[in-house]
Structure 1
Amino acid sequence: MADKELFVYMDGAKAGIVAQSAQGNTTFDYDEDYRRSANPTPLSLSMPLTRERHPSRVVVPFLQGLLPDNEARLARLAAEYRTSTSPFALLSYLGRDAAGAIQLLPPGVDSDDAAVRRGRIQRLSAADFSELIRDVVENSDTWGSRSGAEARWSLPGAQPKIALFRFDDGTWGVPDDSTPTTHILKPAVRPYADHDINEHVTMGAAERLGLDVADHGIVTTHAGDRVFVTRRYDRVEINGRWARLHQEDVCQALSVPPAKKYQSDGGPGVAQIAELLRGSIPDLDARRRAQEQFFGALVFSVSAACTDAHAKNYSLLLSGRSVRLAPLYDLGTHAPYPASAPLKGAMRIGGEYRLDAISKRDLVTVAHKLSLDEDWAERRVDEIRNGVTEAFAGAASLLEAPFAQTVADAVAAIATSRGWSS
């Protein structure tokens, strides 16, 4: 039996072919013309352009990283398309609008990303939008019953979410052609019905402390469902045309499957990510900015009790040989929720997972691994730890929802218990 194939396009340019044999072996081959083109962008840092073919051990984790990290959602998609839950099979149907610049399309299906004019977008009425969000809320375990047949996008991650196009007037639409979706929407769902407020306040606090975060906000449907919305930083409008910017998360860059995104499960830790940044960013100034951004994010995650800051929640933007750390896009504090045991972080710092056991010295030791100046690192730790209470209070003050203040108060209680000034 001949290999099954998916053609990979990078913002409209054919970059190569993903092939799967009858035995399930999956490979990726770069298109030779693409490899020889001016300043081509690699599909992944794990698949350098210096090699034409890349094996399953790097290709499969990359493909897995394009799909939901949610078994129930994958099973529903497989049932809907009458296929298996393998990444190759699902992306045969869902690869038209994946994270980053790529499209994965079956043979005979052309990418029109390079077309001068696109824009066949099904505009949703307020009622349609409300119904779509309500469906995700009521079927949160499978991310909704209305799925890929209506919008052939694929989003990674564990939380229920959808991707839509946002018009200039604030209304929403579903692209019928290859026009990229522009925003990711995460409805407030059980068991954390106020998590949208948590994310909004946490992202706002991080921004106030100088971290680079994705544009974000909260919208409310006619039915009263709240939705946390982030603008996709991997989509940009250039002269009236929406283009895709390539990105991958750190797990994909290191060929780590999503199931191992936490360091305690065998996933990447600070040392591996530090080495990735050091080895993949050739420009010294860009490398230093990435190292400083990552360090700031680590300090914030400890200071604000962000227990889910695992490797899949850090991404890299790739353009030719240029690599930079993407804005933070998935931040939430565990502070307002009950905890039966000391809170633990997603990565070990100074030999500790327990957030209340991580000291300033432990954080500065991390700065050494990132090749950062010790004096600068100490100042940055003080800025974030001593400013976290005020940052959360300021972010919470912009929302009328009572839970926003609950979030800010919970973080303030942690800061007080640790003796950080405000």
Structure 2
Amino acid sequence: MFNLTVMMEICGISTCVGHITGTDSSNSFFSYDDIYLSTPDCRPISISLPIEKKRFSPEETKCFFEGLLPEGFTRRCVAERLCADESDYLTLLSVLGSECLGAIKIVDPINGEIKAAYRPLEDHEITALAAEGASESAEFVSKSHLSLTGASGKVGLYYDYEKHQWYLPIGDAPSTHIIKQSHVRLKRIVANEQLCLLTAKNVGIDVPNSFILQLNGSDDADILFATERYDRKMQDSKRMLNHMPVPYRLHQEDFSQALGIAAINKYEKNGQHYLKRMFDTIRKNCSDPLHDQLKLWDLCVFNYLIGNTDNHIKNVSLLYSEDLRSIHIAPAYDIVSTVVYERSTENMAFSIDGIYDIRQISRDHFANEAKLCGLGVKMALRRFDDMVDKFADALNHATNDLDNLGFHDTLNLSHQILDKGGIHHYI
């Protein structure tokens, strides 16, 4: 029997917002807490779980809450360590839910809460995380009771910039960075992602701060990719743990959760018009809908130009204010030029004017998609052309920055992007 308490940090205060109740994943449902519902101006935890409805079906419940869990190999490794079935999302969440993406926390009254702490990591532990891949990250995840979405090997760590020290958050202690391994995925994936994020920043796209953590060199097994969490905010030093400031949690949800689409269906099929649905969601729910629509449009254009065909709906998120009263598009993340890898698909994760194959998508298709999504076509194409004009210089500056750090193969990577990404149609 499951009776999980769903907590959310609102303005820095951990608040009970609801409960998940049932005997197993097939019949468990989420309902908002009566006391929370009686709070003036209480806000929903998801666009797909509106406050007007008190009880949600097992399908609706699973769609949102399973979206908090890791995917792929990391999830299988964690399930094995817990002696659980990887499809049993509630058992996994009951153990890993102390620290999730956003401001949600899952508490299992049976297991109780684990005392929050930050444990200093030794250099050999960081090195092992880089060298041993997803199995090592799964051990970190299990030990810290922390859940991060996505299929790649990643963990959440706390970084003290003054001491240059990494810490493993225990229990519900918030992390400050998401750390990814390199060689467990595709060759030079870390350099690839940093190159794409720096290029995105150079063309004016909002991205989180990120850096490559070099341990013993620049080979894949010697580096990690660190991204500052935009859903964590160091507001003041009043909250302390182990003599270190504790960040506030900001709530977020990806578009898979917001649209009520299961993670298994994060890639669009058969003309489901995911992009139009995303724009409609922004118009209805975001505090500055025009600004956020343009941010989404720019991101779509950039993913096309850089050759990122893994631009699925879990890789775009909405970020809430501390009091949940305002919603905006979150900074862009998980941008990689996938087309530079021979085994990657050339089909985009959602269509542009009904076309999936990146090799066949053109400026005219973007014009038609803008009209379908309710954007002014002239304005949308003006932004498209502006990004095309900026792209080569932005990529060149990002390449030089990484070359100066010792990642000399990024020059070859940038040539591949110009040759295989959507940008090749315009240069």
Match in the other structure for 2:97: 95
Matched residue of 1:156: which SS? coil
Q: Does 1:328 align with 2:339?
A: no
Identity level (%): 26
Match of 1:6 in 2: 4
Cα RMSD of the aligned pairs, angstroms, is: 2.4
Q: 1:303–1:415: 8 Å Cα contact kept in structure 2? A: yes
Pick one of 155, 166, 182 that aligns with 2:159.
Answer: 166
Deviation at 1:56, TM superposition (A): 1.2
Q: Quick one: which amino acid aligns to residue 275 of structure 1?
A: D
- Counterpart in the other structure of 1:157: 150
Give me the whole-angstrom Cα distance separating, in 2, the residues matched to 1:359 and 1:409.
Answer: 20
Question: Which amino acid is 1:312 matched to?
Answer: K
Aligned match for 1:179, one of 140, 150, 173: 173
Pairing 1:43–2:8 present: no
Q: Which residue does the alignment assign to 2:192?
A: 198
Q: CA deviation at 1:129?
A: 1.8
Task: Choose from 247, 251, 261 the match for 2:252.
Answer: 247
Aligned 1:199-214 pairs, distance under 5 A: 199-214=193-208
Question: How many angstroms does 1:299 deviate by?
Answer: 0.7
| Larger displacement relative to structure 2 (350-359 or 330-339) | 330-339
Match of 1:78 in 2: 79
> How has the CA–CA distance of structure 1 residues 127 and 223 changed in structure 2, closer, same or farther, with 3 Å as cutoff?
farther
Tell me the CA shift for residue 61 of structure 1.
1.3
Aligned residues of 1:304 and 1:333 also touching (Cα < 8 A): yes
Q: Does residue 182 of structure 2 align to residue 188 of structure 1?
A: yes
The superposition leaves residues 340-389 of structure 1 with CA deviations (integer Å, 9 ceiling, x where unpaired) of 98x22111101211112212121122222343222221111111123222
CA distance 1:223–1:414, change in 2 (3 Å):
closer
1:386 corresponds to 2:370: no
In 2, the alpha carbon distance for the partners of 1:191 and 1:158 equals 10
* Residue 363 (structure 2) aligns with: 360
Q: Residue in 2 aligned with 1:260?
A: 265
2:290 to 284, 288, 291: 288
2:374 to 371, 376, 385: 371
* 1:388/1:415 contact within 8 Å kept: no
Give the TM-score of the pair, scaled to structure 2.
Answer: 0.88
1:375-414 equivalences under 5 Å are: 375-400=378-403, 401-414=407-420
Matches of 1:265 and 1:105 in 2, distance apart? 39
Secondary structure of 2:340's partner?
coil
Equivalent residue number for residue 20 of structure 2: 18
Q: Which moved more, 1:100-109 or 1:228-237?
A: 100-109
2:422 and 2:31 map into 1 onto residues whose CA distance is 55
Residues 152-206 of structure 1: per-residue CA shift (max 9 Å, x gap): 1011111111111111233210123422011111111145231000000001111
Specify the SS of the correspondent of 1:172: strand
Q: Deviations over 1:30-49 (max 9, x none)?
A: 11222232443322111011
What is the CA deviation profile of residues 213-245 of structure 1, one whole-angstrom value per residue up to 9, with x for unaligned ones? Answer: 121111112476111111111111121231111
Paired with 1:393 and 1:174, the residues of 2 have a C-alpha distance of: 36
With 312-321 and 85-94 compared, the bigger mean Cα shift is at 312-321
Gaps of 5+ in 2: 240-246
Q: Matched residues in 2 for 1:227 and 1:81: separation?
A: 26
2:356 partner SS: strand
- The answer to whether the 8 Å contact 2:3/2:20 transfers is yes
In the alignment, structure 1 residue 338 sits paired with structure 2 residue 342: yes
Q: Distance in 2 between matches of 1:99 and 1:366?
A: 31
Q: In 2, distance between residues paired with 1:66 and 1:330?
A: 16
TM-score when normalising by structure 1: 0.89
**Offset, 1:16:** 0.8
Kept in 2, the 8 Å contact 1:77–1:147? The answer is: no
Distance of 1:347 and 1:402 partners within structure 2:
33
- Counterpart CA distance in 1 for 2:360 and 2:32 is 47
Q: Which amino acid aligns with 1:207?
A: K
Unmatched tracts of structure 1, length 5 or more = 113-117
1:309 to 284, 308, 311: 311
Give the residue type in structure 2 aligned to 1:336.
Answer: V
Distance 1:128 1:262, change over 3 A: same
Q: How many residues are matched?
A: 405
Change (3 A) 1:214 1:268: farther
Contact 1:47 1:54 in 2 (8 A): yes
Q: Are the aligned partners of 1:212 and 1:327 in contact in 2 as well (CA < 8 Å)?
A: yes
